[in-house]
Structure 1
Amino acid sequence: MREITVHLLRHGAPIREGLMLGRTDEAPLPSGIDRCFARAEGLDIAAVVASDLARAALPAARIAASIGLVPNFDARWRELDFGHWDGQTPERLPREALARFWQDPDRNPPPDGERWSHLRSRVAAALAEIDRPTLVVAHGGSIRAALSLLLGLDHRQVWAFDLPYAALVSLRLWQGSIPTAQVTGLQT
Structure 2
Amino acid sequence: MTAFTNPNVKDNSHLLDRETSKLIMAKNDRYLQTSEQPRIIVQTVNRVNHLTPKKLSKYKHTVFIVVGSKDQKRNVQIYTSKDLHGGFTADIRGSIIRAQSDRLRSNNRQKFNQGLRFVFRACATTIDQQYQYSLDKYDLSAEERAQITHPHRLALPIALALVVVLGGLALFFKNNLHSKNK
Q: Compute the TM-score of the two structures, normalised by the length of structure 1.
A: 0.28
Q: Compute the TM-score of the two structures, normalised by the length of structure 2.
A: 0.28
Larger helix percent: 2
Q: Which of structures 1 and 2 has the larger relative contact order (alpha carbons within 8 angstroms, sep 6+)?
A: 1
